[in-house]
């Protein structure tokens, strides 16, 4: 591997505590490829076409021969994980977050017995990581519901799927508990709150809305089933091995009021309910009052059964993982123009542009201070350990003639966010387990299905038309992050 100039410069800040988990994050479906190998079944993402900024991905009925599905090959990690883990070890990574694709283990989702070849792949991956001193951090469901559970059961709108998830979770805990200590149940479980974009309900829960549906009632029913599934998984994991650390994982797009007008402050408070509903239940073990009021006021039937309270109470999480990419700003009255506010870009009904912030080429605001604000907010609200399991800069990269990528903007983005994170730990006393920047190896973008929206510190030669050698090349940011980790965050 060709070395590059050391770009790290000392800062006046201190290092993070010993044992801080510096890492990187990916998801199985966005990096592995091997979509139909070794008995893997189809998942909800296997029928998602490519898209682009402003061009939504389409959900096809099945895998159609004339369509292009970017996740089929992705970054070919399924065949190249050994080389990739070597590269990650070269950066000094202490942990690596990925997901177990549910449909590798239970191809249809409702089988009684797991697919041994699928389990064996993750055995090999986790062994390789551990052999390099890299702890696996594993998400059980990162938008990877088996397609059969979506098509034949209606996804998580059907309570039967809860038991299928619990069986999947148990199978994984039993098989891997000696190799994996940190787990999360559902990735970004709260990103489906905005039902205006069909992608999120589909990928998170395998749910499509029909004309006769009240979207809000469906969402809350799905939420209840998924929260039960998460709680049952946590309880099962702790039964199997009390030392496991099992977390929730939410998308945290911090919400600012547009001004100090009390109406804007209140608009932000109410908008925040959308962010907090899922973690309120997963951390506290019961539905919050504002949601119960909404259910009661609208006469929604979300399928509460006797005994559900006890399940939720017993299955609270050990830590809260979250992704942080951007903030959003809401203004009272702007929800009247909700159709115009961003539905992919972290916006929500009532969101408006923040004049103080710039944005990426995909319209995601760049706001490192918002990360410190998020850490303070979540720490004070929940008082449990936090884990930043996604953060990063999705951007076009330029590959120079000699194959190098000088991604200074990415370095600037990461440096500013790490500074903010350090302030939260060292000045505000936030209890933070670790930091895993997203897409540490280039992979398929979730919202757009593009390769050119790159997050990686390791470049993958793969393009949106399916061309490219899939060769890996460390970017400038790779060497920079290696020095950050080597100094435990003292050198940025």
Active site residues: 188, 390
In the block, which residue shows the tokens 């619990």? Answer: 166
Instruction: Please identify, using beta-carbon distances, which residue of 278 and 287 lies nearer to ligand BG6.
Output: 278
**Cβ atoms of 473 and 405 closer than 8 Å:** yes
Output the CA–CA distances (angstroms, integers) from residue 78 to 68, 99, 373, 397, in the order listed: 19, 12, 37, 24
Total number of residues binding ligand BG6 (CB under 6 A)? 14
Options 84, 144, 166, 188; binder of ligand BG6; rule CB under 6 A: 188
* Nearest-angstrom CA–CA distance, 191 and 325: 13
322 binds ligand BG6 (CB under 6 A): no
Instruction: Please identify, using beta-carbon distances, which residue of 382 and 393 lies nearer to ligand BG6.
Output: 393
For 150-187, b/e burial (b = at least 16 CB within 10 A) is: bbebbbbbbeebbebbbbbbbbbbebbeebbbbbbbbb
101 binds ligand BG6 (CB under 6 A): no
Contact stretch for ligand BG6 (CB under 6 A) within 6-14, 176-184, 215-223, 440-448: 440-448
Instruction: Please identify, using beta-carbon distances, which residue of 257 and 347 lies nearer to ligand BG6.
Output: 347
For the bound state, the minimum distance from the C-beta of residue 6 to ligand BG6, rounded and expressed in Å, comes to 29
Count of CB atoms situated within 10 Å of the CB of 409: 15
327 binds ligand BG6 (CB under 6 A): no
* Nearest-angstrom CA–CA distance, 95 and 87: 13
280 binds ligand BG6 (CB under 6 A): no
Six-digit token pair at 330? 């809401």
**Cβ atoms of 296 and 315 closer than 8 Å:** no
Contact stretch for ligand BG6 (CB under 6 A) within 173-181, 282-290, 444-452, 480-488: 444-452
Site string for ligand BG6, 282-321 (x = CB under 6 A): ----------------------------------------
187 binds ligand BG6 (CB under 6 A): yes
Instruction: Please identify, using beta-carbon distances, which residue of 423 and 464 lies nearer to ligand BG6.
Output: 464
Distance of CA 335 to the CA centre of its chain: 27
Residues 372-391 within binding reach of ligand BG6 (CB under 6 A): 390
Options 185, 192, 447, 477; binder of ligand BG6; rule CB under 6 A: 447
Instruction: Please identify, using beta-carbon distances, which residue of 118 and 321 lies nearer to ligand BG6.
Output: 321
410 binds ligand BG6 (CB under 6 A): no
323 binds ligand BG6 (CB under 6 A): yes
**Cβ atoms of 115 and 105 closer than 8 Å:** yes
Contact stretch for ligand BG6 (CB under 6 A) within 100-108, 152-160, 402-410, 441-449: 441-449
Position closest to ligand BG6 via CB: 447
**Cβ atoms of 361 and 395 closer than 8 Å:** yes
Instruction: Please identify, using beta-carbon distances, which residue of 106 and 438 lies nearer to ligand BG6.
Output: 438
Options 8, 16, 27, 271; binder of ligand BG6; rule CB under 6 A: 27
453 binds ligand BG6 (CB under 6 A): yes
Output the CA–CA distances (angstroms, integers) from residue 217 to 154, 301, 454, in the order listed: 15, 7, 36
394 binds ligand BG6 (CB under 6 A): yes
Instruction: Please identify, using beta-carbon distances, which residue of 43 and 158 lies nearer to ligand BG6.
Output: 43
Options 445, 473, 477, 491; binder of ligand BG6; rule CB under 6 A: 445
Exposed (0-12), middle (13-18) or buried (19+): which is 82, by Cβ within 10 Å? exposed
Q: Cα(first)–Cα(last) distance of the chain, in Å?
A: 22
438 binds ligand BG6 (CB under 6 A): yes
**Contacts with ligand BG6, residue ranges (CB under 6 A):** 27, 30, 187-188, 251, 323, 390, 394, 438, 445-448, 453
């Amino acid at each position: 591997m060709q070395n590059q100039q050391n770009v790290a410069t000392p800062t006046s800040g201190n290092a993070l505590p010993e044992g801080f988990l510096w890492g990187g994050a990916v998801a199985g479906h966005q990096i592995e490829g091997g979509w139909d190998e070794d008995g893997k079944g189809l998942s909800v993402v296997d029928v998602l076409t490519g898209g682009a900024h402003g061009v939504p991905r389409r959900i096809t009925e099945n895998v159609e021969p004339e369509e292009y599905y970017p996740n089929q090959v992705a970054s070919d990690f399924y065949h190249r994980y050994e080389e990739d883990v070597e590269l990650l070890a070269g950066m000094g990574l202490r942990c690596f977050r990925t997901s177990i694709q549910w449909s590798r283990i239970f191809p249809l989702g409702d089988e009684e017995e797991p697919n041994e070849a699928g389990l064996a792949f993750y055995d090999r991956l986790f062994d390789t990581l551990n052999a390099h001193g890299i702890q696996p951090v594993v998400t059980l469901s990162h938008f990877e519901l088996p397609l059969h559970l979506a098509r034949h059961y209606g996804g998580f709108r059907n309570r039967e799927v809860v038991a299928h998830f619990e069986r999947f979770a148990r199978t994984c805990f039993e098989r891997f508990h000696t190799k994996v200590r940190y787990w999360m149940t559902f990735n970004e479980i709260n990103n489906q709150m905005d039902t205006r974009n069909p992608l999120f309900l589909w990928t998170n829960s395998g749910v499509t809305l029909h004309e006769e549906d009240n979207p809000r009632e469906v969402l809350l029913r799905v939420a209840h089933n998924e929260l039960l599934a998460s709680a049952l998984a946590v309880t099962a994991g702790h039964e199997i091995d009390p030392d496991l650390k099992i977390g929730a994982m939410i998308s945290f797009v911090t919400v600012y009021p547009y001004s100090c007008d009390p109406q804007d402050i209140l608009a932000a408070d109410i908008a925040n309910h959308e962010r907090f509903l899922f973690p309120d239940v997963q951390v506290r073990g019961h539905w919050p009052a504002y949601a119960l009021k909404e259910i009661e006021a609208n006469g929604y039937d979300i399928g509460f059964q006797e005994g559900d309270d006890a399940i939720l109470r017993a299955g609270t999480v050990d830590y809260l993982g979250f992704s942080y990419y951007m903030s959003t700003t809401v203004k009272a009255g702007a929800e009247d123009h909700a159709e115009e506010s961003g539905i992919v870009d972290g916006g929500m009904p009532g969101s408006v542009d923040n004049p103080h912030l710039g944005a990426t080429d995909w319209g995601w605001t760049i706001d490192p201070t918002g990360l410190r604000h998020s850490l303070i907010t979540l720490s004070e609200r929940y008082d449990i350990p936090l884990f930043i399991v996604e953060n990063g800069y999705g951007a076009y990269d330029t590959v120079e003639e000699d194959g190098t990528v000088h991604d200074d903007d990415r370095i600037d983005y990461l440096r500013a966010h790490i500074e903010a994170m350090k302030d939260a730990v060292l000045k505000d006393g936030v209890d933070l387990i670790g930091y895993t920047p997203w897409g540490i190896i280039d992979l398929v973008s979730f919202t757009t299905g593009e390769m050119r929206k790159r997050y990686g510190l390791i470049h993958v030669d793969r393009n949106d038309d399916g061309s490219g050698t899939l060769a890996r090349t460390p970017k400038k940011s790779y060497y920079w992050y290696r020095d950050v980790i080597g100094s435990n965050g003292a050198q940025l």
